Amino acid sequence: MQTHIISLLVEDHPGVLTRMSGMFTMRGINITSLTVSPCEKEGLSRMTVAIDGSESVLEQVRKQLSNLIEVVKVVDLAENKAIIRDLCLTKVHVKDSNARSTIMQLAETYGAEIVDATLDSVIIEVMDEPKRIDRFVDLMKQFGVKQLFRTGVTAIGRDTGLER
């Protein structure tokens, strides 16, 4: 089992999300993360789908997605050839001033930002690769994560051209 990130260019029609997610349901494959947004081309949307599965599951998914009429392009984004980002907003319990300073230090180390604070909680925003966010969230669990929101991954392939 491995996480695969698939980037889709789709025609922006009603029902296209249902069609896409329905394909996964039909084949018994679980989507772990999904983002949809407009892209650089008018009339098209970009979807970023993350799934856990073997290479053969990935192959089947890629082909079945290509078969969908409204899917214009399917790209399998390998981790080392893409920039992958996730945004996380989390509300963490702050027991005392000791906890507060540790949380602040950890946040700084992870490039996270404290975007709101009360006497007994802070809201932290962190934007990073999903794995680094996982690690940060695990740390915050020591203090008590009250709420956690993640947008899901979006990713962009790196250019391969190294010379002009």
| Residues in contact with another protein by the rule CB under 8 A | 10-11, 14-15, 18-19, 22, 26, 56, 59-60, 63-64, 66-73
| Residue 67 Cβ vs another protein, minimum distance, rounded to whole Å | 6
Task: Tell me how far the alpha carbon of residue 81 is from its chain's centroid.
Answer: 16
Which DSSP string corresponds to 94-124?
--SHHHHHHHHHHHHHTT-EEEEE-SSEEEE
Comparing CB distances to another protein, the nearer of 12 and 125 is 12
Comparing CB distances to another protein, the nearer of 62 and 93 is 62
Residue whose C-alpha is closest to residue 154's, from 32, 44, 16, 46: 46
| Residue 79 Cβ vs another protein, minimum distance, rounded to whole Å | 23
| Residue 31 Cβ vs another protein, minimum distance, rounded to whole Å | 16
| Residue 47 Cβ vs another protein, minimum distance, rounded to whole Å | 13
Q: Who contacts 102 (Cβ-Cβ below 8 Å, separation ≥6)?
A: 143
Comparing CB distances to another protein, the nearer of 57 and 145 is 57
| Residue 86 Cβ vs another protein, minimum distance, rounded to whole Å | 27
Comparing CB distances to another protein, the nearer of 41 and 131 is 41
Name the 3-class secondary structure at 65. helix
Comparing CB distances to another protein, the nearer of 49 and 94 is 49
Burial group, residue 99, by CB count within 10 angstroms (0-12, 13-18, 19+): middle
Contact 29, 62 (CB under 8 A): no
Helices then strands, each counted (H, E), the chain? 4, 9
